[in-house]
């Protein structure tokens, strides 16, 4: 498909509007997040955006943009979030203003302005969104790549496993290539890798992951606990998702191996994914049953970054241990990505235990003395490895705090501030 405004608009009307998500799902999500308090985007509001404004667009916002927004606000920049799904009041506190839109075509309202910076969230299956915004507006458009379709799979047929047919997958990759070739700033979480082989890149491709926000950084001063408490923080795919893509992220094997060693494991899911205990039982029956039948395991809906500190003060390590042995996801993706959960652990003052196949994260952990790197063959002996590293634990925690302050979002923003300010 040719990348034109009409073609992208047609794709939105035929594949997205009323389908992703269904209208009832969108309505219930807004209701649960109390998004009714948000103002509806209109032409009058758009006209009020001034030259000192960064407009963030995220269909269903995660917690990356709020950290960037707060760092910009600290420097006097006006920030605005536009979202279709909506956010709760806690989330909205990290933007000067938040506006709700009902249709992606409402973004045509942005075609009337040209003096603001527009920063669009994209992820697998949604690279059409920054392209659409770039085609309909005269303003400077930037993009954050949450995860890359170019890197995710080695075979185009694998996209079908995540509900994206071949034609949509081809369009998604073409749109991702478009943003690299046409936008002045593209941020992404892939470290030490060339995302852009054989592309004519405009020049603004930056490794810029979800760095820790100063407001969320805590130095843990409580004494080291006799009992090792491990925590995994982050989104868990629903049990019914295809194992060929999601088996590693489901964490079933890892959880069973850990609790067999009498280690205590808590999973704090992404709070955007579940709304109640009934929701957990329906979407995550494996973990629901495991929690009921094992005192060393707990699974909860999780907490947003402005609240999570209250519930994580007694954990020993944050874990990033995955079984990558039987999945279709490319090695390049797992080797090079530095995901948000890593920086969440850093914000909370937690040393990290990471699987060595996550090479980019492993290198950061080793180089900065902020935790333990293990091989999959060693996971069965994790309890012993933790005991062997007990003498180093206090140093790990000190190093975590130093790393957090040195790599805060407020400091690292300087790497891209020339684009946004």
**pLDDT tens string 59-110:** 999 999 999 999 999 999 999 999 999 999 999 999 999 999 999 999 999 9
pLDDT at 278: 82
Q: What pLDDT, on the 0 to 100 scale, is given for residue 291? A: 93
Binning pLDDT at 50, 70 and 90, where does residue 248 land?
confident
Contact status, residue 280 vs residue 238, Cβ threshold 8 Å: no
Q: How confident is the model at residue 221 (pLDDT cuts 50, 70, 90)?
A: low
Which candidate, 289, 299, 311, 316, places its Cα nearest to that of 372? Answer: 316
Residue 224: pLDDT above 70?
no
Looking at residue 372, what is its pLDDT? 98
pLDDT of residue 205: 87
The rounded mean pLDDT for the chain is 93
**What pLDDT score was predicted for residue 199?**
52
Placement of tokens 């280690």 in the chain: 263
Alpha-carbon distances of 299 from 71, 184, 264, 295, rounded to whole Å:
32, 42, 11, 11
CATH code of the domain occupying 5-208 = 3.40.50.11720
Residue 282 has pLDDT above 80, yes or no: yes
Q: Categorize the per-residue pLDDT at 267 as very low, low, confident or very high, splitting at 50, 70 and 90.
A: very high
The secondary structure element, H or E, covering residue 118 is strand 117-122
pLDDT band at 178 (very low <50, low <70, confident <90, very high): very high
Strand partners, 53: 78
Number of helices and strands (H, E) in the chain?
19, 14
* Amino acid 195: pLDDT: 66
Residues above pLDDT 90, as percent of the chain:
82
pLDDT at 36 over 90: no
| Poorest-pLDDT segment among 4-18, 80-94, 230-244, 268-282 | 268-282
Residue, of 320 and 421, whose pLDDT is higher:
320
**Joined tokens for residue 225:** 């606990």
Above 80 in pLDDT, residue 208? yes
| CATH of the domain spanning 214-406, picked from 3.40.50.300, 3.40.50.2000, 3.40.50.1000, 3.30.9.10 | 3.40.50.2000
Please compute the mean of the pLDDT values over residues 107-123 and round it to a whole number: 94
Q: Are 322 and 257 in contact (CB under 8 A)?
A: no
What pLDDT is recorded for position 222? 58
| C-alpha to C-alpha distance for 255 and 260, rounded to whole angstroms | 9
Residues forming CATH 3.40.50.11720 domain(s) in the chain: 5-208
Please give the C-alpha separations between residue 135 and each of 55, 61, 183, 191, 200, in angstroms, as whole numbers: 16, 22, 11, 29, 19
> pLDDT tens digit string along 347-376?
999 999 999 999 999 999 999 999 999 999
pLDDT band of residue 112 (cuts 50, 70, 90) is confident
Decide if pLDDT at 200 tops 60.
Answer: no
Element (DSSP H or E) covering residue 320: strand 317-320
Query: Mapping DSSP to helix (H, G, I), strand (E, B) and coil, where does residue 148 land?
Result: coil
* Residue 353 phi, psi (nearest 5): -110, 120
Q: Looking at residue 90, what is its pLDDT?
A: 95
Per-residue model confidence (pLDDT) at position 197: 59
Residue of 33 and 405 predicted with greater confidence:
405
CA distances 9 to 129, 240, 296, Å, are: 10, 32, 51
CATH 3.40.50.2000, the chain: domain bounds: 214-406
Indicate the SS3 state at residue 369. Answer: coil
CA angle 354, 206, 352 (to 5 degrees): 15
Q: How confident is the model at residue 33 (pLDDT cuts 50, 70, 90)?
A: confident
Query: Is the pLDDT score of 170 beyond 80?
Result: yes
């Amino acid at each position: 498909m040719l990348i034109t405004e009409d073609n992208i608009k047609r794709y939105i009307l035929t594949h997205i509007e009323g389908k992703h998500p269904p209208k009832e799902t969108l309505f219930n999500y807004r209701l649960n997040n109390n998004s009714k308090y948000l103002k509806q985007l209109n032409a009058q509001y758009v006209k009020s955006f001034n030259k000192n404004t960064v407009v963030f667009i995220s269909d269903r916002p995660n917690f990356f943009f709020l950290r960037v927004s707060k760092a910009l606000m600290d420097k006097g920049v006006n920030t605005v979030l536009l979202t279709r799904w909506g956010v709760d009041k806690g989330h909205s506190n990290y933007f000067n203003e938040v506006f709700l839109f009902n249709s992606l075509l409402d973004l045509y309202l942005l075609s009337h302005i040209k003096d603001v910076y527009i920063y669009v969230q994209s992820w697998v299956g949604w690279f059409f969104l920054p392209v659409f915004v770039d085609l309909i507006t005269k303003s400077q458009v930037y993009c954050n790549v949450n995860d890359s379709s170019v890197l995710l799979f080695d075979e185009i047929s694998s996209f079908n496993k995540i509900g994206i047919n071949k034609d949509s997958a081809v369009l998604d990759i073409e749109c991702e290539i478009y943003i690299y070739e046409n936008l002045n700033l593209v941020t992404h979480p892939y470290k030490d890798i060339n995302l852009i082989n054989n592309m004519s890149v405009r020049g603004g491709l930056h490794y810029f992951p979800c760095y820790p926000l100063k407001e969320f950084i805590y130095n843990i001063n409580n004494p080291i606990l006799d009992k090792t408490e491990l925590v995994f923080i982050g989104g868990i795919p629903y049990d019914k998702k295809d194992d060929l893509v999601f088996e590693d992220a489901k964490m079933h094997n890892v959880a069973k191996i850990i609790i067999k060693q009498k280690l205590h494991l808590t999973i704090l899911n992404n709070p955007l994914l579940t709304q109640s205990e009934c929701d957990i039982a329906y979407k995550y029956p494996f973990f629901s049953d495991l929690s009921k039948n094992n005192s060393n395991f707990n699974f909860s809906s999780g907490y947003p970054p402005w609240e999570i500190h209250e519930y994580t003060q007694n954990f020993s390590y944050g874990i990033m241990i995955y079984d990558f042995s039987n999945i279709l996801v490319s090695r390049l993706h797992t080797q090079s990505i530095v995901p948000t959960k890593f920086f969440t652990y850093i914000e909370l003052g937690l040393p990290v235990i990471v699987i060595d196949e996550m090479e980019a994260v492993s290198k950061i952990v080793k180089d900065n003395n902020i935790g333990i790197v293990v091989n999959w063959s060693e996971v069965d002996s994790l309890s012993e490895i933790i005991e062997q590293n007990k003498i180093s634990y206090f140093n790990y925690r000190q190093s975590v705090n130093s790393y957090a302050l040195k790599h805060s979002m407020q400091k690292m923003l300087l790497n891209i501030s020339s684009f946004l300010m």
